[in-house]
Amino acid sequence: MNLPLVGLVLTRYLSGISFNTPNILYLVFLSFGYYFIVLFALNLPAILLSYFRRMSLFLFWLITSLFLYYLVLDGIVYNIYRFHINLFFIELFFIDFENFGFTTGILMFGIGVLAFVFFVEYYIIKYAQNMSSRFLYLLIPVSLMFVFSQIIHIYAFANDRTDITSISPRLPLYFPITSSSFVKKHGNIGKNLGLGDKLAKVSKENSSINYPKKQISSKIEKDSLPNIIYIVLESWRFDMMDSIISPNIYKFSKKSIYAKNHLSTGNSTTSGIFGMFYGIHPTYWDAVKANSSIIDNPVLIDLLKENDYSFGVFTHSNFTRFKLSAAIFNNIDMYEKFKGNKDWEKDKDMNKRFINFIEKNRTKPFFGFIFYTSTHHAYSYPENREKFGSAGKINMGLVNNNTDPRPYINAYKNAINYVDSMVNEIIITLRTNKIDTNTIVIITSDHGEEFNDNRENYWGHGSNFTKYQTNVPLIMYLPGKSPEQIDKQTSHIDIAPSLIQEVFKVEDNIDYYSNGRNIFSLSNDIRPLVSASYVNHALIIGKDVFAVYPFSLKKYKVDDINSKVKSINQSLFRQGVNEMNWFYNKD
């Protein structure tokens, strides 16, 4: 009986959406299927206490009322700020109450709405007690609706049906299923549902995101176009770039711009890669992914295509599965299949093919991207490359707070050292083909890697936002630029706008297409930066981390997760929220 109310409240999140038969069905199935699961999960304590009838009914009344009230408030907040209520928002609310525009009258109105919801829910429960048990048979169609809603999303996601996928990031507590393997195996189901083809016409005004805010054009002369190469080492953290572990990259950094205090936009691959190309905070990823057919590509890639660059994108790290291909390299050929069984063997073949791409395109402007995965756990390298000692069998599933990290670190260093030798082959290729003086080279990583450095049993990445998982090397070689070490805090969101301004001579305000800044004209001011994982994100202000989880907010220092944040810079906190809201369409 609450599900129609839930569906009614959810319409608050959908202003600006153009409706058609598929997405209307999707919304109906969601309201009655998915959100039944949510209500069921929330009311599990009440269900388990059903033997104690009065207590069970009281808990159901309280939990369901608060959930409906949350949806009402969250719908209001989402339409203003384009993010959902969480403890991050609540903290900001209490430290910056006046800037939210709330008055005593508005708060009293909110209390009145809460009382009304409690009142309505009381009568729903009272009426439901007199209903026949035959209504339990409704669980069958409700369960089917859940299944159908997820099938629709799976096929819509795989086929860039923006009319459906653009709805998903708007909805609270919604985590839709995606499965490329299911689409491959059951493709006919999607076609029968009318989801086998991309939507022909989609309006940018109807999408949730407004990126870029205006059309960006370059003013560079065609005969002065440089080549651009991105070299990305998986899981390469800030303190693993030196003359011992990565001697060739270290030597190259001495004639380049080296950002010593560089923050990735994620402790996961998706967020890290997204930030370095789009130049916007990773909290926009869901909206960009959902609207990828409208956006097409990030501004940097659009400028490359506009200037007739050749593209060579080389990776074997599931970019297609995670939608990075469609969102960043749409309609651009990617090379994702390489010889070998182990990561180091695939990287070796990939490196060879990447070098062939460079030599084949040396007489015209090209963009190259290569992403090495040997440095990802379980750290892959040839047996004869154990420069830092034998690591033995690596199994992250068996580690604990007392595990000696040294064998893992040794294997990690061996893998970095091996990839370093392949990067050197690329550098030599540029020099021997005499195109090193006309080629920009960016060397960095998607995120860092932790080996229990915080002494809290954190290993690998994707689990916290301390420097071990988020700080990575950044080396930028731009012909004509003097070598320099930058000690100011930089971010992945700075890479794209730096290239857009320095290379393509774009004079438009950076705010039209990026949350970042030009690395070569940074001020000394502290600014709010954002890093994200697959499930949450953090606002990082100087050395302070505000990590936002669905139902909690953790505050700690970027150097030590056990060191707590004692105060909040309210203006920078507010600035960070505004930046995470800047590229959303306002209804």
pLDDT of residue 201: 46
Whether the per-residue pLDDT at 263 is higher than 50: the answer is yes
| Region 328-349 average pLDDT | 95
pLDDT of residue 587: 57
Whether the per-residue pLDDT at 98 is higher than 60: the answer is no
Domains of the chain: 3-202 (no CATH), 225-527 (3.40.720.10)
Lowest-pLDDT range of 27-31, 84-88, 153-157, 259-263: 84-88
Question: What does pTM read for this prediction?
Answer: 0.83
pLDDT of residue 132: 63
Lowest-pLDDT range of 89-98, 215-224, 541-550, 578-587: 89-98
Handedness of CA 258, 211, 543, 404 (dihedral sign): negative
Query: Highest mean pLDDT range out of 59-68, 87-96, 228-237, 386-395?
Result: 228-237
pLDDT 10s digits, 148-205: 999 888 888 877 787 888 788 888 888 888 776 777 676 666 666 666 555 434 455 5
Whether the per-residue pLDDT at 106 is higher than 80: the answer is no
Whether the per-residue pLDDT at 49 is higher than 90: the answer is no
Lowest-pLDDT range of 165-179, 282-296, 342-356, 491-505: 165-179
pLDDT of residue 200: 39
Q: Cα(249)–Cα(241) distance, rounded to whole angstroms?
A: 8
pLDDT of residue 93: 63
Whether the per-residue pLDDT at 253 is higher than 90: the answer is yes
Integer angstrom CA distances of residue 94 from 25, 88, 172, 567, 570? 39, 10, 22, 13, 11
Angle between helices 343-360 and 406-432 in degrees, nearest 10: 20
Q: Cα(584)–Cα(169) distance, rounded to whole angstroms?
A: 12
**Residue 531 forms beta bridges with which residues?**
538
CA 581 to chain centre: 15
Q: Cα(200)–Cα(207) distance, rounded to whole angstroms?
A: 15
**CA angle, 297 then 303 then 306, to 5°:** 100
Whether the per-residue pLDDT at 449 is higher than 90: the answer is yes
pLDDT of residue 205: 58
pLDDT of residue 305: 94
Percent of the chain surpassing pLDDT 90:
58
Whether the per-residue pLDDT at 99 is higher than 80: the answer is no
Whether the per-residue pLDDT at 19 is higher than 70: the answer is yes
Q: Cα(516)–Cα(350) distance, rounded to whole angstroms?
A: 31
**How does residue 100 score in pLDDT terms, banded at 50, 70 and 90?**
low
CA 48 to chain centre: 37
| Region 495-507 average pLDDT | 95
Q: Side chain identity at 502, as an amino acid letter?
A: E
Percent of the chain surpassing pLDDT 70:
90
**How does residue 291 score in pLDDT terms, banded at 50, 70 and 90?**
confident
pLDDT of residue 562: 94
Cis amide prior to 212 (ω within 30 degrees): yes
**CA angle, 482 then 485 then 489, to 5°:** 130
**How does residue 89 score in pLDDT terms, banded at 50, 70 and 90?**
low
**How does residue 251 score in pLDDT terms, banded at 50, 70 and 90?**
very high
